[in-house]
Chain A
Amino acid sequence: GNSVTQMEGPVTLSEEAFLTINCTYTATGYPSLFWYVQYPGEGLQLLLKATKADDKGSNKGFEATYRKETTSFHLEKGSVQVSDSAVYFCALSDRASGTYKYIFGTGTRLKVLA
C-alpha cells in the first residue's frame, strides 16, 4: 500500500538557517504530493503541492520538488524565521475508485530560535 515517511523531529534551528525536512513515499500509482503546516492550536494548512514528476511546489519561501526516481518530496527553505515554527506534514493523495485517499507522514516539529 501507499505510505509516507518523513524525518523525525523536533528540528531546532537558528533564525536564517537553511531548512531541509526529508520526505519519501511509496505509491503504486501516480500520487499528488503535499506539504501541510500546522501552527499551534490551528488546523492544517496547505503549504505547497506538486501533482506530477519534476513539478516544483513553492510558497512563502518553501520549496519541494517531486522526484519520481528517488520517490522523494523534501521540503526546503533557504532562511527560516521564528514564525516558521510549526509542525510540517508530508502527504500524498492517490485517486482510487473515484475518490482521493490521503496518507500523512507523522509530522516534523520545527522550532526556530531568534
Chain B
Amino acid sequence: AAGVIQSPRHLIKEKRETATLKCYPIPRHDTVYWYQQGPGQDPQFLISFYEKMQSDKGSIPDRFSAQQFSDYHSELNMSSLELGDSALYFCASSSVKSGDTGELFFGEGSRLTVL
C-alpha cells in the first residue's frame, strides 16, 4: 500500500540558508500535518492543511511557511535557518471521511542538519 512520501530524506544547510521539504500524502487523504522532532524530543506539531487550506497552526516559527497544492502534496519552506532548526521533520496524513478513525500515517521523515 502507498505510504506517505517525504523528500529529501537528508538535507544539510548552512546558517541563514533556505530549505524546502516536500510531502506526498497517502492517496485520497485530505489532511496533511507537519511535525518537528528535535533529538530526544517528542514530535512538535507545526501546521496542518485540510483540502489545501490551513486548518491548524502549532509552534511554527515565522521564518517557516507551508502550503498544500492542488495535487495534495505539501511543502514546508524554512528560511534564515538557525542551528536550532536541526531536527527530523515528519509529515503525516489522515482522512476525515466517513468511516475513517482519524489515524495518522507518518512518513519516514526528513533530517535537516544546519551547520
Question: Is B56 a contact partner of A51 (Cβ separation < 8 A)?
Answer: no
Q: Which B residues touch A89, using CB under 8 A?
A: 42-43
Question: Is B31 a contact partner of A100 (Cβ separation < 8 A)?
Answer: yes
Which of A14-22, A61-69, A74-82, A101-109 is found at the contact surface with chain B?
A: A101-109
Question: Is B48 a contact partner of A49 (Cβ separation < 8 A)?
Answer: no
- The complex places the Cα of A107 from the Cα of B37 at a distance, in Å, of 12
Tally of A-B residue pairs with Cβ under 8 A?
A: 57
Q: Given A43-B106, A46-B104, do A99 and B48 touch, yes or no (CB 8 Å)?
A: yes
Main secondary structure on B side of the interface with A: strand
Q: Judge if A1 is at the interface, Cβ distance under 8 Å.
A: no
Q: Judge if A44 is at the interface, Cβ distance under 8 Å.
A: yes
Question: Is A98 a contact partner of B96 (Cβ separation < 8 A)?
Answer: yes
Q: How large is the interface on B (under 10, 10 to 19, 20 to 34, 35 or more residues)?
A: 20 to 34
Question: Is B56 a contact partner of A101 (Cβ separation < 8 A)?
Answer: yes
Other-chain residue from B42, B48, B103 in contact with A46 (beta carbon distance below 8 A): B103
A55, chain B: closest CB distance, angstroms = 10
Q: Judge if B8 is at the interface, Cβ distance under 8 Å.
A: no
- The complex places the Cα of A76 from the Cα of B36 at a distance, in Å, of 28
Q: Which B residues touch A46, using CB under 8 A?
A: 103-105
Q: Which of A7-56 contact B (CB under 8 A)?
A: 32, 34, 36, 42-46, 49, 51
**Additional pairs, 11, CB under 8 Å, beyond known A98-B50, A102-B104:** A43-B106, A43-B108, A44-B43, A45-B106, A89-B43, A93-B104, A99-B31, A99-B96, A100-B104, A104-B43, A106-B42
Contact surface of B with A, Cβ cutoff 8 Å: 31, 33, 42-43, 45, 48, 50, 55-56, 90, 92, 94, 96, 101-109
List 17 A-B pairs, Cβ < 8 Å. Answer: A32-B101, A36-B104, A36-B106, A43-B108, A43-B109, A44-B43, A44-B90, A44-B104, A46-B103, A49-B101, A91-B104, A98-B55, A99-B31, A100-B102, A102-B104, A104-B43, A107-B42
